[in-house]
Amino acid sequence: MVEKKIKLMQGNEACVEAAITAGMKFYAGYPITPSTEIAELSAEKLPKVGGRFIQMEDEIASISAIIGASIAGVKSMTATSGPGFSLKQEGIGYAVITETPCVIVNVQRGGPSTGLPTAPGQGDIMQARWGTHGDHSIIALYPWSVKEIYDITIKAFNLSEKYRTPVILLLDEVIGHMRESIELPEADEIEIYNRKRPSCLPEDYKPYRVKEGDLVPEMAGFGEGYRFHVTGLVHGETGFPTSNSKIAEELVRRLVGKIEDNKDDIVETDEYLLDDADIAIVAFGSTARAAKSAVDTLREEGLKVGLFRPITIWPLADKQLVDLSKKVNRLVVVEMNVGQYYLEVDRVAGKYTKVDKYGRVSGELITPQEIVDFIKEV
């Protein structure tokens, strides 16, 4: 028997373990399948580390509560699925404009509306990007295994703290519910990033002032003597509302820029057998696991196929996709929807190579054989 720190763990459980390691001290949520285990485990584990859990009256209340807690200085998270993710959009926009770090987990299920509660889907790719109203940019990450859920949850917290922005962690019913072996890293192997604290005296503090060359303001917490104001209205560096058009333009440009101009730091991708590939499959989450099996099968049959897997879904890995499209004859985007990420891949890579899509919205995971057949048929 192997006596290492290897555990059998569910995806949703790995998310909670990682969140606590990343410093989560507050969770607010509302029960919804297939994300409920994240709330249940947070309820059980948080008080043991001095944190707090609350089951709120609805999804909007939950995201509102975590934003409040984060502004009070505490790392916070909520989790939901499809219908709840629609309701979270109000709060996501507020967190964007108020630059409040927080993590929103969406364990995707079949939609639209109540859809297929216990079945997987990947139909929230575009909602993660554009679900809340108004111009903004967003960070959305999508792991594909239990181990990676652990690592990427920590990354989600780190990016939210570093860029003072909500980070969406996309999972799906398959990876959220399945159990796999995981070897938890030691504490000293994990890098934790905390929001930058004010470097000035309270009387000089301006909550949205950015230093020369930086795009992210320093963040004080409520009750620490800074007595600042937070609003979802357009605001200048003082935090107070204004309708000054120059300030409005600058604010939205900076909110977008702090993410889009830092893609080198934010975007993470993975690849498999792409070096000599003629065809590249583009897939993420549980679908990428089917795609990887398909690559192996097609390779055995002599076809030079590889896998490109964006872990950062938003901001778009456009540089990597363009580079890839110049190397291969064909890109095949495989996703459990009718073609959402495909729209972006085709937009940036379509002028260099042929881009195809294969999708499924039946609530069943796409199988390796389906992908093999599709690639051979076309």
User: Is the Cβ of residue 117 or residue 185 nearer to another protein in the bound state?
Assistant: 117
Phi then psi for residue 111, to 5 deg, are -130, -165
User: Is the Cβ of residue 51 or residue 123 nearer to another protein in the bound state?
Assistant: 51
Tell me how far apart the alpha carbons of residues 165 and 140 are, in angstroms, rounded to a whole number.
Answer: 11
Tell me how far apart the alpha carbons of residues 226 and 136 are, in angstroms, rounded to a whole number.
Answer: 27
Tell me how far apart the alpha carbons of residues 27 and 62 are, in angstroms, rounded to a whole number.
Answer: 8
Query: Which 3 state secondary structure label does DSSP give 350?
Result: coil
Please report how close the Cβ of residue 178 comes to another protein at its closest, in angstroms.
4
User: Is the Cβ of residue 29 or residue 315 nearer to another protein in the bound state?
Assistant: 29
Please report how close the Cβ of residue 232 comes to another protein at its closest, in angstroms.
6
User: Is the Cβ of residue 54 or residue 331 nearer to another protein in the bound state?
Assistant: 54
Please report how close the Cβ of residue 257 comes to another protein at its closest, in angstroms.
24
**Sequential DSSP letters for 138-207:** -EEE---SHHHHHHHHHHHHHHHHHHTSEEEEEEEHHHHH-EEEEEPPPGGG-----PPPP-S-GGG--T
Which stretches of the chain bind another protein, using CB under 8 A? 1-2, 6-8, 25-26, 28, 47-48, 50, 52, 54, 56-58, 60-62, 64-74, 76, 90-91, 94, 117-119, 174-175, 177-181, 221-233, 240-241, 286, 289-290, 292-293, 296, 365, 367-369
User: Is the Cβ of residue 180 or residue 237 nearer to another protein in the bound state?
Assistant: 180
Please report how close the Cβ of residue 94 comes to another protein at its closest, in angstroms.
5
> Which structure tokens are listed for 211?
């230093």
One-letter amino acid for residue 377 of the chain: E
> Which structure tokens are listed for 45?
């584990």
Please report how close the Cβ of residue 264 comes to another protein at its closest, in angstroms.
29
